[in-house]
Structure 1
């Protein structure tokens, strides 16, 4: 088994962001690519989290217009909305499950990864790792896990064959 590495995380983040920045539209079958990339990102995040140094460098992620285009590109996926429990460990909470959005999950992850990629491209890998780790813990971990759960349940319950 391979061990988590920053290099593999960065390469996977580049591939993930590339789905949003490529000229070709996102296809329904890209849902399986998103699944594979999310699994790789989560596997390699532990290597990224070991870089706990932040400098003074600004990260420059997608603009609001680029983000809106990213969300629009995801409309070809086989589904968007799904049900999710916000905190599976809070047994005191009586709230009903809420509606999750696969396009929101995947686009939010794109934004967080792209901001780190901008730092990495400028040669600030420690800052990129700090950004990725911070945003993972504070934001995109929940999006990734919710998206993966929705995709896997779709695959196992609703698809005759997954690519």
Structure 2
């Protein structure tokens, strides 16, 4: 694992999680601009993670109660900006069908996966294990939430 790529990712993840931890915010436009920037940084850094599978104790999960608190705070901040439509399936029988998505859910899900890794690092989980968890999560779960959120934030901010 390259340590410079991992360090850049940890820095971006800490900035994003600190932003989400601070919600709710009174100024939705300012929050959206900050979320757009920090989430883009996280996504870009995730693309450079070169972690491979490492066995060992994993990061502690984030409780549903903690996730719900972040979701509710984000809902309060985003208001009517929370809902957006997107095509989820790109292949198969449901390809091209637009479905309703929720920006507060996207941001809270990314926060949950990144925060778990940060708490793991702080508790002594091996960096190689956390890097693998983040890289895998980016590919199978939170990466899609991040990309959809970046798109939704862009539309809300500029269109």
Q: Structure 2: where are the runs of 5+ without partners?
A: none
Structure with more of its chain in helix, by fraction: 2
Aligned residue number for residue 42 of structure 1: 43
Q: Supply the distance in 2 between the matched residues of 1:126 and 1:94 (Cα, whole angstroms).
A: 36
Aligned residue number for residue 118 of structure 2: 117
Contact 2:16 2:42 in 1 (8 A): no
How far residue 73 of structure 1 moved from its aligned partner, in angstroms, is: 0.7
Q: Supply the distance in 2 between the matched residues of 1:113 and 1:14 (Cα, whole angstroms).
A: 8
Aligned residue number for residue 85 of structure 1: 87
Aligned residue number for residue 156 of structure 1: 158
Q: Structure 1: where are the runs of 5+ without partners?
A: 158-163
Q: 1:121 to 1:153 in 2, by over 3 A?
A: same
Aligned length: 151
Aligned residue number for residue 130 of structure 1: 132
Aligned residue number for residue 54 of structure 1: 54
Contact 1:61 1:118 in 2 (8 A): no
Report runs of 4+ in structure 1 exceeding 4 Å deviation: none
Contact 2:89 2:97 in 1 (8 A): no
Contact 2:33 2:157 in 1 (8 A): no
How far residue 94 of structure 1 moved from its aligned partner, in angstroms, is: 5.3
